[in-house]
Amino acid sequence: MAMTWGLVGVIVVVLYGSIKHFLDFSERKGQRIIVEHFYSLLLVYVIVMLAFGMIYFIFASQGMPILMDELLQHDSVIDRLAHSIYFSGVTLLTVGYGDITPIGIGRVIALVEALIGYVLPAAFFVQLMQDK
């Protein structure tokens, strides 16, 4: 087990270094704006994911059928919140594993969230081109 965690740790360090190198524009003049836009986009994604996760959680906590997942009815509050945020992230990033299915008004909410997740990169690109 220690070997597994060691390998995972090495992979995370290499991944972190690669991403950090990719985003390090300090040596390239005029490219700093790209980093600021990237972090802004990342922050917007996190905020949208958490906000929609809270919407799913609140509806499910009120007993409204919004997500078809047994865990949202029986687990602890923290687990239900985690499942709601997980579903939100999977929906926002248009991954859609299918392990949690929206039902009722949840379908409309998930559709709006997926649309936001789909449009954000395009808006990011347009903003980046306008700032150059």
What is the domain partition of the chain in residue ranges? 30-131
CA separation for the pair 116, 111 (Å, rounded):
9
Asked if residues 48 and 116 have their Cβ atoms less than 8 Å apart, the reply is yes
Cross-strand pairs, 102: 67
What's the pLDDT tens digit per position in 80-127? 888 899 999 999 988 878 788 888 888 899 999 999 888 888 888 777
Q: What is the pTM of this model?
A: 0.74
Model pLDDT, residue 119: 87
Backbone angles phi, psi at 118, to 5 degrees: -80, -35
CATH number of 30-131: 1.10.287.70
Asked if residues 52 and 88 have their Cβ atoms less than 8 Å apart, the reply is yes
Asked if residues 39 and 24 have their Cβ atoms less than 8 Å apart, the reply is no
Model pLDDT, residue 113: 92
